[in-house]
Amino acid sequence: MRLTLHVNGAVHEIDVAPTLPLLAVLRDDLGLTGTRYGCGRGQCGACYVIADRRGVASCLLTVEQASRMEITTVEGLAKGDSLTPLQQAFVDLDAMQCGYCTSGMLISATVLLANEPVPDETAVRDALAGHLCRCGVYGRAIRAVLTAAEASR
Ligand code: FES
Ligand code: FES
């Protein structure tokens, strides 16, 4: 099926099976490999993207559903070489180890800060709760989100 995807401000015409997960199309057809495959069941958070201003698991969204939405992946967060304050805080506070969970956490934290610019720690914990991190960087990730929020005051 011929579909049009809007991803990171660019328009992509693709010919794919409409039931394919958006995650597969992002990675395999568009080369946007910052969005990770973890569980494929909506349980690990590695594949999160922003779809119409909400964080969603791209392994559960079909590419046909996604074609009716504005999609932002982790590649679309920075403006050129300029990291967002949130991304910079993750770097500054070393809030990653292997980095496999990082793009998903950045997506959910970006959505949180867009809706609630100065969240309390509980809100940050809730926002990151769906993201499994086998390296255990939760504490640093939470501090990075709070630091980015504080910097935006
Ligand atoms: S790969 Fe989508 S939630 Fe795990
Ligand atoms: S930094 Fe390795 S899984 Fe989170």
pTM above 0.95, yes or no: yes
The two most distant CA atoms of the chain are separated, in Å, by 46
Residue 152: pLDDT band with limits 50, 70, 90: confident
Residue located via tokens 């967060």: 77
- In the DSSP assignment, the letter for residue 74 is G
The rounded mean pLDDT for the chain is 97
* CATH T-level fold of 2-76: Ubiquitin-like (UB roll) (3.10.20)
Atom number, ligand 1, closest to the C-alpha of residue 42: 3
Mutate to test the pocket of ligand 1, among 39, 56, 73, 131 (most ligand atoms within 8 A of CB): 39
45 CB near ligand 1 (under 6 Å): yes
The helix/strand/coil state of 47 is: coil
Please, are residues 62 and 117 in contact by the beta-carbon 8 Å criterion?
no
Residue 53: pLDDT band with limits 50, 70, 90: very high
Residue 105: pLDDT band with limits 50, 70, 90: very high
DSSP run (H or E) holding 95? none
* CATH T-level fold of 85-151: DNA polymerase; domain 1 (1.10.150)
Instruction: Delimit the domains of the chain by residue range.
Output: 2-76, 85-151
Query: What digits encode the pLDDT tens for the residues 120-132?
Result: 999 999 999 999 9
